[in-house]
Amino acid sequence: MKLDLRDYERFEKQIILKKIGITGQKKIKNARVLIIGMGGLGCPLLTYLASSGVCNIGIVDYDKVELSNLNRQTLFNASDVGKYKVNQAKLKINKIYKRIKIKTLKIKISKKNIDSIIKNFDIICDGTDNFKTRYLINDYCKKNKKILISAAISKFNGHLFKYDFKKRGPCLRCFMPDQPVLENNCETHGIFPPVAGLMGSLQANEVLKTIINLKQDLNNSMLIFDALKMSLRKVKINVNRNCINACKN
């Protein structure tokens, strides 16, 4: 897809950035990004990708909007309660930019269906709320050499990872070989709403940088945000030689 005159106007404030330009904007338009989980992370992530001009986006979530989601899931309002998140998200996003092709997938991701869900996308964003799904996505992306940009939030903390499995490097199992016994998510531990907004926006930041091939500082590192201390730290993740995904340096 080429840029048309309306695109030049709509995106002029980012096209004038030398590091983006027309070439970068074309890449953004043609990128294929999948968002798994349309919750506190998925809402800001989808909003920024759409408003920046990503025109091929898949969204996966089988939940309906609940009243207790509204403190952080900013694409939804009270009239959306009881409706499927993916449907409501698509409606809102197409109001921002109607040319975006949004593929909605109202399904629970599983070993059986993961290939058909992910294979046609280049960049995969994980914003899910349980470890079982996180491991499944990690293992699939590792095996199929996808780029995985993953964020997790709980209480006042956020984590962000980027794994470029086209290259050598660690995966989720390298530093967390086994699934923790306790889930650590918004449902069970609570969440400070701006942490969701910030981490979802940082995920969008990394997706867009990956699309236009800007400085890849987060490769093989984890970004940790603490909203109480107001600290943002970057920690290197090492390859674990015993990783069952046979990760290599």
Least Å from the CB of residue 240 to Zn ion: 6
Measured CA to CA, the distance from residue 174 to residue 170 in angstroms comes to: 6
Which CB sits closer to Zn ion, 84 or 135?
Answer: 135
Which CB sits closer to Zn ion, 88 or 138?
Answer: 138
Q: At what angle do helices 85-96 and 42-52 cross, to 10 degrees?
A: 30
Least Å from the CB of residue 135 to Zn ion: 11
Tell me which residues touch Zn ion (CB under 5 A): 171, 173-174, 243, 245, 247
Which CB sits closer to Zn ion, 11 or 165?
Answer: 165
The amino acid occupying position 238 is N
Least Å from the CB of residue 220 to Zn ion: 11
Which CB sits closer to Zn ion, 101 or 248?
Answer: 248
Least Å from the CB of residue 138 to Zn ion: 8
Query: For the chain, how big is the Rg over CA atoms in Å?
Result: 18
Least Å from the CB of residue 172 to Zn ion: 7
Which CB sits closer to Zn ion, 3 or 243?
Answer: 243
Measured CA to CA, the distance from residue 63 to residue 70 in angstroms comes to: 14
CA 168 vs CA 33, 142, 146, 188, 246: distances in Å? 22, 10, 12, 35, 10
**b/e per residue 36-69 (b: at least 16 CB within 10 A):** bbbbbbbbbbbbbbbbbbbbbbbbbbeebbeeeb
Phi, psi for residue 160 in degrees, rounded to 5: -135, 135
Which residue, 3, 57, 55, 5, is CA-closest to 30?
A: 55
Which CB sits closer to Zn ion, 108 or 145?
Answer: 145
Least Å from the CB of residue 160 to Zn ion: 18
Measured CA to CA, the distance from residue 115 to residue 121 in angstroms comes to: 10
Measured CA to CA, the distance from residue 142 to residue 146 in angstroms comes to: 7
